[in-house]
A = this chain, B = another copy of it.
């Protein structure tokens, strides 16, 4: 029986027709869209047309993601839908080309369902129209707002996002779902709007680690050593790392981290406190410097084209116009500092099966004007290491809170395998979706 509650894995194992599955999703969306507003572009008729085309493919010719509906953040080019970047300058723009990752998923049989909302050019923390499905008065996070909300609200089983600071892991935590921000460079960024070339990373949202693994397969993420078929928590070795950002933490994440450590230990894993060497406290500052200088290059063309500036968010105008303190010397020092720290972090993270660390400051804040603080995410993005958000914990207002698992660069599949073992344990963290 087709149900919008099916995960991608459920659906692939169900024998349900693609058309039946997407009809269930579209019916659910019809009842929820006015509230959640996760979509920048969604054409039900075109979804159904694609579904029928897919159903007509003989079974033996079907791809591994046959019929899996994928929400696509609206900064990825899609050859058959507009790509608008939440920018008035790109209203109804339609480059006739697929981003590399969209091409990979389409080639694997996925159904490109629609385009999910983003903050402007995925580069500001001013919210889009999208609301958190678990509390419509709260932000779904950003910049991958629509992808996080749509997957959290069961409107689509999986979705694509991008993270430059915290744009995948933060909305995943706020919407109570799983997400993978892979190693930087492991997935092609071809056809995705540039925010910060040195940090932008393509990734996935899902409601299970199994679904993340499906997407990782399609993107051909491969570690040097194949991870164990099943990872066991008994005897596993974790570090818990508060990071230099800890002073910004809120009570929800404090409790989540305490509870997460308890649950891992109760499952037979060892968890030791990891104090990073002092030089890692410089990461946030270095990332900000590089981000600012990258932004100046990134938004120059939009700024010049906009002329009167009215089509560009003032924050993006500032990237270009306010070079105060933005010397190349400082930029390069920051860039080179991060490059030096990356192998050091690989070495540290390699001592453990994974590092457990906060995903967010706290549960999703009230209001849609800000997508929340990315403070805890930025460090790992800058260090290029893979991160998985595992949900399970709960904030003071009943909203979901996730924790991040981190591994060395290009240990993405290992990290997913560890996350698959951690996920059922964290389900006892206190949060349960009511959707």
Q: A: which residues have CB within 8 A of B?
A: 77, 93-98, 100-101, 103-104, 107-108, 185-190, 193-194, 197-198, 220, 223-224, 294, 297-298, 300-302, 304-305, 307, 327-329, 331-332, 336, 339-340, 342-343, 346, 409-410
Contacts and interface: CB of A to CB of B under 8 A. Distances in A.
A188 B193 CA distance: 11
A97 B192 CA distance: 13
Given A189-B197, A336-B339, A305 B410 contact: no
A304 B103 contact: yes
Nearest to A104: B301
B93 A188 contact: no
Contacts of A298: 100, 188, 190
Contacts of A340: 339-340
Contact of A224 (B224, B328, B343): B328
A362 to B, nearest CB: 34
Contacts of A302: 100, 103
B328 A297 contact: no
Contacts of A107: 301, 304-305, 307
Contact of A194 (B77, B188, B343): B188
Contacts of A336: 339, 342-343
A340 B101 CA distance: 31
Contact of A95 (B77, B301, B304, B328): B77
Nearest to A326: B224
Contacts of A297: 185-188
A149 B409 CA distance: 42
Contacts of A104: 300-301, 304
Give the 8 A-B CB pairs with smallest separation, nearest first.
A339-B339, A95-B95, A328-B410, A100-B301, A103-B301, A107-B304, A95-B97, A190-B194
A190 B94 CA distance: 16
A305 B193 CA distance: 21
12 contacts: A95-B96, A95-B97, A100-B194, A103-B301, A103-B304, A104-B301, A104-B304, A185-B198, A189-B197, A220-B300, A332-B342, A336-B339
A185 B103 CA distance: 26
Given A301-B104, A336-B343, A340-B340, A194 B189 contact: yes
A96 B188 CA distance: 21
Which of A97, A189, A193, A340 has the most CB atoms of chain B within a 10 A radius of its CB?
Answer: A97
A48 B197 CA distance: 37
Given A197-B185, A327-B224, A300 B97 contact: no
A101 B302 CA distance: 10
A301 B76 CA distance: 14
Nearest to A409: B332
B197 A301 contact: no
Contacts of A198: 185
A114 to B, nearest CB: 20
A349 to B, nearest CB: 13
B328 A346 contact: no
Nearest to A410: B328
A305 B104 CA distance: 7
A131 B190 CA distance: 30
A147 to B, nearest CB: 20
A397 B109 CA distance: 55
A31 to B, nearest CB: 35
A186 B307 CA distance: 21
A230 to B, nearest CB: 23
A274 B226 CA distance: 46
A335 to B, nearest CB: 8
A82 to B, nearest CB: 10
Contacts of A294: 185
